[in-house]
Each structure stands twice: as C-alpha cells, then as structure tokens.
A and B are shown apart, each in its own frame.
With several copies, the nearest count.
Chain A
C-alpha cells in the first residue's frame, strides 16, 4: 500500500508538509502572543488569556461543522450518480466533524476552567453553555453513527442526513446570548460593529484565530488522509479475501 498511488484525493504532498511546519510555528507564536505579549485584563486579570484559545476554538468548530454540512450536502447530491459516488465528500465530512468535536471540547474545557476563576463555579445553567454542550454531544452522536458498521454509501447517506439536521445547532449556540438572558459574554466581535476589546487583545485574538485555523486545517487534512488510508487498507484486505475465496475452489 503506497500513499503515492497518485489518487486524486490522497493528500500527502509537499504542500501539506509545509502546512504542518507553518501550523507548529503559528501555534508557538500564538502561545507567545497570548501568554506574554498581550496584557492582562483590567477586570479579569491573567484569566483573560484563556480567551485566545476559548474563542478561536469554537469558531473553528463552527467552521468545521459547516464544512461537514456542506460536504454532506454535496455527498447526498453526488451519491445519486453511480460513477464518482462522492466518497470524497463523505470522508471530508467525517474528518471535519472529528476536528470540530475536538475544538468544541477545547472550548468547553477552557470555558469551565475560566468559569471556575471568574464565576467561581465550573458550570452555570446558562443558555450559551447548555447549547454548547448540546452541540458537542450532537456531534459525538454523529461520530457514533458514522462508526456503526454498514455499507459505506448507506452509512454516508445516513450520517449526511444527520449532519444536515445537526448544523442547526451552530446558529443556536451563536445567537443563544441574544435570545436568552445569559451570564456569558455577548458577542464582542462582529461584522459592522466596533470591537469592544482593544489593542493587543484584539490583534492577539485575531491572530489566534488564524493560528487555530491553520492547525485545524492541518488536522483535517491529515484525518482525511488517515480515513482514506484506512479505506485503502480495507480495500486491500478485501481483495486478499476475495482472492482467498477464489482459492477455496481448488
């Protein structure tokens, strides 16, 4: 099994290696900026540094889940045709969802630690927090559904339907602060509005988002690759099994 089989969707290439290097460098720089360069907050003190992981992570998770939904939609469309059944989109959906779940988890953990410092408790029954945990579990369920043994196309369609329904949770999480009265911060950055945080914090947050995006892309590319390799391995094993079945009639 050689990765260099020249398959259209194999992803090992110089470009991804560069991406990996860039991701590491960006993460290091992000740590530097977030922990040392940016100032402590007037109200929150050092705890504010959690922001640089907490917020970009969930944004990336949103992005990943949207990617999952879009890929799923494409898969549903493409899988109607026999040739080029769109497996590529299914793999991408799976890889993106896995990475999204990881980053949503990071937001939850950092948020809980942060809450412990600023609110004095790990958890509050706040709409934002509750909806976030529901988002997290929904995608855990999505991943569980993907793991059920089934024909790849059937499984792909099934999980695609779930991905399309689940995406509704993203806007719910995002707008929960507006729809319900919450303890949690309202949106501080949004298009067409003056940012409420300033200076180094603002730029550090923007930069962190970029860095996390790079890391997440690298992860998605590699999860995709691993999924593809697993498929190739399974195909190989299947071919060996077919061959051995043919040998049954000696």
Chain B
C-alpha cells in the first residue's frame, strides 16, 4: 500500500520536476495575487496585516486549483487515464498517491507565498506552532478535497472549469478556518485558532475516508 502510494506520488512529482510548472508558473501567479492586494490597499498597512491570513489562503486556493488541474491534465492527456484504470494499483492507493503529490507541490507553493506575505504585508508571527499546524491541516484538506473533486470532474472536456465550481464551495470552510487560524497565529485575533486548525484536520480526514472508499468507481468514466 505505502509502496503504491509513493509510486504514484513520485511519478507526479517527477512529471512536475520535468516540466517545472509549480515553481515556474503557479508560484509567480500566487505571488501576483499577493502583490495586487498589496497595491490595492497600499495606504493601509493595518488592513493588510489584518487580511494577510485570508489573502494567503486565497492565493493558495488559486494556485492549488491550477496544480490540481494540471495533475489531472497529465492523466487525461494521451489517454493516460485508461492506463491508470488498467493498472493493478488499488484505488485507495491511487487516491492517496495523487493527494500526496499535490500536497508536496502545494507545500512548495506555500514556501514561496509564506515569505511573500511576511515581506509584503508586514506580519509578525506570534505562534509558530499554530501557524505550522494550520498550514499542515489546510494543505492536507486542500489536497484531499482537490483530488476527490478533480477525479469527479476529470474525463470530460469541460473539466478545467467544472473543477473550480465544485471545489470552491467545498473549500470555503477550509479557507475560513485557515484564515482564522493564521490570524490568531499572527496575533491579530484573539480567537481560538487551534479550534479552527483542528477543524481542517477533521475536514481532511472526512474527505480522505470518502475518497478512499469511493475512488474506485469515481475513476470509471463510462
């Protein structure tokens, strides 16, 4: 099982490494979103500081959607999905492997965006542990949901645009929780950031369970 998961994840990362889409294309895009906001509120550093948590997650959502799209584009290209279906790898492993691949790429994206908000929005980090926990939970939830909805939307020509439509409402709670937890970690909100952080882990766990249980037939196209 673990072996299969790693196999899939490594393949995705290798494709990514060969085409360098994440770091080359998606990360600048995310940075653009941050820069634009910095422009939009240039007069008011206080506002930026307040909104930094939310902006970070909006940028992750934006870039992450592109990543998921690409992860499935690679599979639908040249009929690869059929080969995927014909392989002996069990569906839950496929699901976890794809999620792991996405997870690592989103982490890379966050490693670019994180310093971005620190520099551009002038935030101070009060609670490193919470920050890391929230980032981990949010990224997990995002990857798992993304792969689950990605496979649902895959196999159709319109997948590129149906995916965000399905993904965004499901991810809204993740976005909210991530923002709140980050704001607590930045010391701009007194609320219980840990509750929000744990919420994300719960979301991730639920979707992981659903995904592992249903990926087998979600993979079938016709």
Q: Does chain A touch chain B in the assembled complex, meaning CB atoms less than 8 Å apart?
A: yes
A145: contacting residue among B42, B162, B168, CB under 8 A: B162
CB distance from B218 to the nearest CB of A (A): 6
B residues 169-222 near A (Cβ < 8 Å) are: 169-170, 172-173, 207, 210, 214, 217-218, 220-222
Indicate whether B166 reaches chain A with its CB closer than 8 angstroms: yes
CA distance A126 to B214 in the complex (A): 35
The stretch among B30-38, B58-66, B88-96, B106-114 that forms the contact with chain A is: B30-38
Contact between chains at A137 and B31 (CB < 8 Å): yes
Q: Which residues of A contact B2 (CB under 8 A)?
A: none
Bound-complex Cα distance A144 to B162 (A): 8
A130 within 8 A of partner (CB): yes
Q: Does A3 interact with chain B (Cβ within 8 Å)?
A: no
- Do B210 and A161 touch (CB < 8 A)? yes
Contact mask A124-146 → B, CB, 8 Å, 1/0?
Answer: 11110010011001101100110
Q: Return A91 CB to nearest CB of chain B, in Å.
A: 19
What is the total of A-B residue contacts with beta carbons within 8 Å?
Answer: 88
Contact between chains at B221 and A148 (CB < 8 Å): no
Instruction: Indicate which residue in B48, B122, B169, B207 contacts A141 across the interface (CB closer than 8 Å).
Output: B169
Binds B, one of A59-67, A97-105, A151-159, A210-218: A151-159
Judging by beta carbons under 8 Å apart, are B35 and A151 in contact?
no
Contacts of B210 in A (CB 8 A): 161, 164-165
* Interface flag for A122 (CB, 8 Å): yes
Q: Looking at the assembled complex, report how far the CB atom of B32 sits from the nearest CB atom of chain A, in whole angstroms.
A: 6
Proximity bits, B28-68, A CB within 8 Å = 1, else 0: 10011001001101111100100000000000000000000
The answer to whether A154 touches B217, judged by C-beta atoms less than 8 angstroms apart, is yes
- Give the residue name and chain of the B residue nearest to A162 (CB): B152
Interface residues of A (CB under 8 A from B): 112, 121-127, 130, 133-134, 137-138, 140-141, 144-145, 148-151, 154, 157-158, 161-162, 164-166, 169, 172
Closest 7 CB pairs of A and B: A125-B43, A138-B169, A141-B166, A151-B222, A122-B119, A121-B122, A123-B120
A–B Cβ pairs within 8 angstroms, 25 of them: A121-B122, A122-B119, A125-B38, A125-B39, A125-B44, A130-B35, A130-B39, A134-B169, A137-B28, A137-B32, A137-B169, A140-B165, A141-B28, A144-B166, A145-B166, A154-B217, A154-B220, A154-B222, A157-B217, A158-B152, A158-B217, A161-B210, A161-B214, A164-B210, A165-B170
